[in-house]
Structure 1
Amino acid sequence: MITAALGALEVAMVQSGARPEDTLRDTTAFARRLEELGLRRLWYAEHHHSPAIGAFPPVVLGAHAAAVTSTLRLGSGGVLAPNHAPIMLAEQFGTLAALHSGRIDLGIGRGPGTFDEPTAQALRRGAGPATDEEYRADVAETLRLLVDEVGLRPLPEPWLLASSTAGAALAAELGLPIAFAHHIRPDNTRAALAHYREHFAPSRWCARPRVLVCVETVCAETQKEADWLAGPMDVVKSGLLKGRADLPFPTPEEAATHPFTAEEKQALAAFRAQQAYGAPGTVAERLAELAAATAADELMLATPVYALADRLRSYELVREYAVMPPR
């Protein structure tokens, strides 16, 4: 059984043949059903200029979901600090937290949110990638402004997103809870979390280390069905392996005919072995093992499958194997 609290990461995949507004409609149904299932958090990721992932601002999706739910925690996973002025992040999430008391999280990340260089430069108004010092300053200034300038209460709960030891070190230095992207850099997870716990400095935000681990999870009645549902995301990943982010999110039928190279198949299999795919018992065992190995307080599941019904069914099946603490 899974005893860690469960949450969900919404990346708002835009299915082949669908409209972006169809994806937005699905995010509403998704949030309502997750609340019914008793999940703790639903976070939205920031992406730009991708045919497969909607460019929907996390603060907007979070505000909408908060308005149609009542107990689910909503937030960003993450909003990307280099793309935004700290004062804007503080004002936006401070306002959300004041409107929805005790339900708003501010998950801050570093990446550009796009593989398209002109888009990345547009987001940064022509500036290059943020340096380590600039990123640290942006995060620290956002936190300061939340407390000293915005003046709204209650405050959102800040988290730092990380996929490396460097990100974990910053979370430890600032005394923030950490959300680790195991679904992106699984080989970094254990070393980074060990560094985080060893160097954690208590702060006004967090008295002890708190760890959330995000894992890609596709659960279905059988292993064969789970593999079928995972096919579309495999196509998108195969493009990323070649430096391409221009592939749409195909149907499972389209994905089944995609010509993967031997190298791509090997890389995808190695990645999948560190995530949670398969029938309910297999997935539950894998998630429980990962929670134990990382001593995670929470698991956040990323389930990029084509149809909303299949995505929700994945969460429903996992929930049957979970004994979660109260929200």
Structure 2
Amino acid sequence: MTTDTPARLLTLLSLLQTPREWPGGELAERLGVSRRTIRRDIDRLRELGYPVQASMGSDGGYRLVAGKAMPPLVLDDEEAVAIAVGLRAGAGHAVAGLDEASVRALAKLEQVLPSRLRHRVTTLHAATTPLTGGDGPGIDPGTLTVMASAVAGQERLRFAYRAADGTQSRRLTEPHRLVSTGARWYLVAYDLGREDWRTFRVDRVAEPFATGARFTPRELPARDAAEYLRRSLQRLGDSYEIDVLFAVPAEVAASRLPQWFGAPEATDDGTSCVLRATVSDAPEAVAVRLATTGLEFRVRRPTELADRVRELAARLVRATEST
């Protein structure tokens, strides 16, 4: 009989997360307890927020169903390794819509992985090569997870940094947020050495180290980290303005566009909208991202972006021509 209630609850939860219905008698037999104990344990899981559904019948059955919130999951070794490898693969490139969530999830998972599993994840990741890559430079997932952990824990972060002109420096920062543009990762942080806010391209960061020293978050001089990054890129001349007209209402376009682009503005008639944004991605990459929205649009400026869209359209048409 399993007398350790927390351990028994975790085992029960692990069984219920298998997509099937478990008869009460089978659960009792597996855990070496009575059916009455199983019923009490099911009630405890429900109190913790796990939506366990019971079915009527001679033996009765239990299964975990979708609820209103995402409760903690119990993973076995193979499942944990599989998820960590997948998150590492996704976090290595900036994938609009999944990027920052992948990094946060990876940081949480790797924090609790036993050393034997962490070694397996690292080995698998090092031994595989993706067939396709992102639009921008690849990033070591370890660098991102160290930074994400420092952001979440409000710990000062120290790292080596290579500027655009090749100058090397050591920085001590209070990290605020990681921001993805869809092609590059940036860290928005308060630089203690410069006594001012700065943005750092993560592909130019080396040897990140969370010092363990806590800090009280400072007020960012912008609405959010994405807005601050947009302003920084404008000042650095590492960006350009785009003006794109979409033939759909603003809310429809907003649901298809990466958040990094910002919110499109509705036109007077409300049936179309205009996206005016500051971007740092190459025009070729922006052309692809606009095309993959599946929406009708027209590039009004800059000319270079319009040229890249025309070239992309012509290339796609040629790809469908019969030989």
Greater share of strand residues, 1 or 2?
2
Q: Larger Cα Rg: Structure 1 or Structure 2?
A: 2
TM-score of the aligned structures, taking structure 2 as reference length: 0.29
Higher relative contact order (CA 8 A, sep 6+): 1
TM-score of the aligned structures, taking structure 1 as reference length: 0.29
Greater share of helix residues, 1 or 2?
1
